[in-house]
Structure 1
Amino acid sequence: MDSNLYVSIGVKLTVALIGLLIMTRLLGKKEISQLTAFDFVSSLMLSELVGNTIYDDEIHLSHLVFALIIWTILALGLEKFIALFPKISRYAAGTPDLIVCDGVVDFKAMKRNNLDFAQLGMLLRENNIFSLREVAYALFETNGSISVLRQKNPEEHIGNVTERQGGVSLPAYIIENGSINEDTLKRLGRDRKWVDQLLQLSGIADHECVLFAEWSDSSGLYYQLKEKKKA
């Protein structure tokens, strides 16, 4: 391989890196967490663009610079255009979706965003929240993160506490969308009979009508029933 080719690849890589950093700053994206779906697609396109030009002898440095400039102009122009027309913005970048409203989980919103309770729990823990009883409102953002407004007094909110053993313990979902989580029960050293007794104490005849049930040894049971289907 010609030494000039090594030099050409090194120069293209350097220019591409500088160009991508400049473009990122111009678009105002300081963190990966700020990237929207459009930004993610744009980054994939840029990676293809840069990758295909770096190792091609027939594509000169000027071509790479030209491509980066054009793509930056297009991206900036599209963002400005979207800003002028909010309706287009909602389709291009999406809108935040209310997952929890006034302490009540919107399961339809969860399904729209392909979220299950395990993922919701992970997102809440990233906000230093370990129990749904602490959540008043939760917005699922367009970048995949979640924004949470806490309850003023979680103990006074809906749900039912059937046992208290003091101390602090990690809450766990024992029921998700009407299905008993056997793995969680095994970890807790409990069984389905215990779940049925717990629900009966709360006036619930069947676990299948429970959207979710959360248990902790320190705070007891917290649950939400499924919405009744209209006839």
Structure 2
Amino acid sequence: MFDFWTGAEGLPVYGFIIRACIVYIYVFVLIKVLGQRSMSTLNPIDFLFGVIIGDVIGEPLADGEVPLGGPLAAAAFIGGIHLFLSYISLKMPRYRRIIEDEPILLIEKGHILHEELQKAKVTVDSLLMDLRFNNAIDLMEVDYAILESNGQISVIKKSKYDSLTPNDMGQSPVSKGYPSVIIEDGLIIEANLKKFHDRAWLHRTLKQHGYNDATEVFLMMLDNAGNVYISGKNESQTV
């Protein structure tokens, strides 16, 4: 009856399905416990965690004779180690550089640091590609380029090439805040709508933009400044 847990030769298909459900829920809970950090960036410690967890949890899904309890216990132990190391990295800066790599300067004051490129094993082509991703096509505009601990390259442009901001022009625009979804795939998100307006306002706004009701709208968003974005199911427009 519990062959899906203890393992058995010739485990039936439903046993693998039950195992897959258990493992999926288990890993989902484990990631929730560890926090969003484990998924947001790919530091070496996070990469190591992902590889080991995948190997430990994947075996009982492929081999029906392997008991499920052992791999789950091992995964929990590995998750505990990962959480402990993350805590040390957060609370003890002295040991942080042992666990996480220190950022490496690749370009300093507009000059490419060749020795640092070799140390980081970054080719010139790779550096130029990452600069293009950061909208820094012209090397003359780059002041600093840093290889971060997650493997990404961040770019700081020279001040004279910074984009002009409203503050530079002596203006103080109203903060847009965090935009809220009002309609998603034809369904009105009542909780978000109540934060700003009522149904009467919603219907008036839809009429103004050529929609009869919410069912014709794929996505509608509203920010604190009153800006509305509406994308219909058959066409899109921004207001």
Indicate the TM-score class for this superposition, using the shorter chain for normalisation: 0.5 to 0.7
Instruction: Name the SS of the counterpart of 2:159 in structure 1.
Output: coil
Residue 93 (1) aligns with residue 95 (2) = no
The answer to whether the 8 A contact 1:15-1:65 is kept is no
Q: Which amino acid aligns with 1:21?
A: F
Deviations 1:118-176 (A, max 9, x none): 0001111111221211111111011111111111235xxxxxxxxxxxxxxxxxxxxxx
- Measure how far apart 1:39 and its partner are: 0.8
Match of 2:59 among 52, 64, 83: 52
Q: Give the alignment's TM-score, normalised by structure 1.
A: 0.58
Long gaps (5+) in structure 2: 1-7, 162-239
Matched residues in 2 for 1:43 and 1:82: separation?
Answer: 18
Equivalent position of 1:135 in the other structure: 142
Residues 173-188 of structure 1 mapped to structure 2, 5 A cutoff: none
Aligned residues: 154
| 1:73 corresponding residue in structure 2 | 80
Which residue is equivalent to 1:14?
A: 21
Structure 2 vs 1, CA of residues 127 and 24 (structure 1 numbering), >3 Å: closer, same or farther? farther
Among 109, 121, 124, the residue aligned to 2:131: 124
- Which residue of structure 2 aligns with residue 187 of structure 1? none
Shift of 1:18: 2.5
The answer on whether the counterparts of 2:106 and 2:146 sit within 8 Å (CA) in structure 1 is: yes
- Preserved CA contact (<8 Å) 1:34 1:143: yes
Distance 1:50 1:108 in 2: 41
Distance 1:85 1:17, change over 3 A: same
In the alignment, the residues of structure 2 paired with residue 124 and residue 99 of structure 1 have an alpha-carbon distance, to the nearest angstrom, of 11
Amino acid at match of 1:63: G
**Structure-2 separation of matches of 1:124 and 1:77:** 35
Once superposed, what is the RMSD of the aligned Cα atoms?
Answer: 2.5
Of residues 19, 25, 31 in structure 2, which corresponds to 1:24?
31
Give structure 1 stretches of 5+ with no counterpart.
Answer: 155-231
Structure 2 Cα separation of the partners of residues 144 and 98 of structure 1: 12
**2:41 aligned with 1:34, yes or no?**
yes
Answer yes or no: is the 8 Å Cα contact 1:29–1:35 preserved in 2. no
Describe the SS at the equivalent of 1:153.
Answer: helix
The partner residue of 1:109 within 116, 120, 126 is: 116
Deviation at 1:107, TM superposition (A): 1.3
Shift of 1:82: 3.2
For 2:95 and 2:38, the matched residues in 1 are separated by: 24
Q: Secondary structure at the match of 2:121?
A: coil
TM-score normalised by structure 2 residue count: 0.57
In 2, Cα distance between equivalents of 1:90 and 1:101: 22
SS across alignment from 2:122: coil
Rate the CA distance shift 1:145–1:24 in 2: closer, same or farther, 3 A: same
- Aligned-pair CA distance for 1:81: 2.6
User: What whole-Å deviation, never above 9, does each CA across 1:163-211 have from its counterpart, x for those lacking one?
Assistant: xxxxxxxxxxxxxxxxxxxxxxxxxxxxxxxxxxxxxxxxxxxxxxxxx
Cα deviation code 1:11-31 (max 9, x no counterpart):
222222223233333333468
Within a 5 Å distance, the mapping from 1:193-204 to structure 2 comes to none
Deviation at 1:8, TM superposition (A): 2.2
Distance 1:44 1:52, change over 3 A: same
Q: Deviations over 1:43-101 (max 9, x none)?
A: 11111101222233343343343233222222112211333332432122211111111
Paired AA for residue 26 in structure 1? V
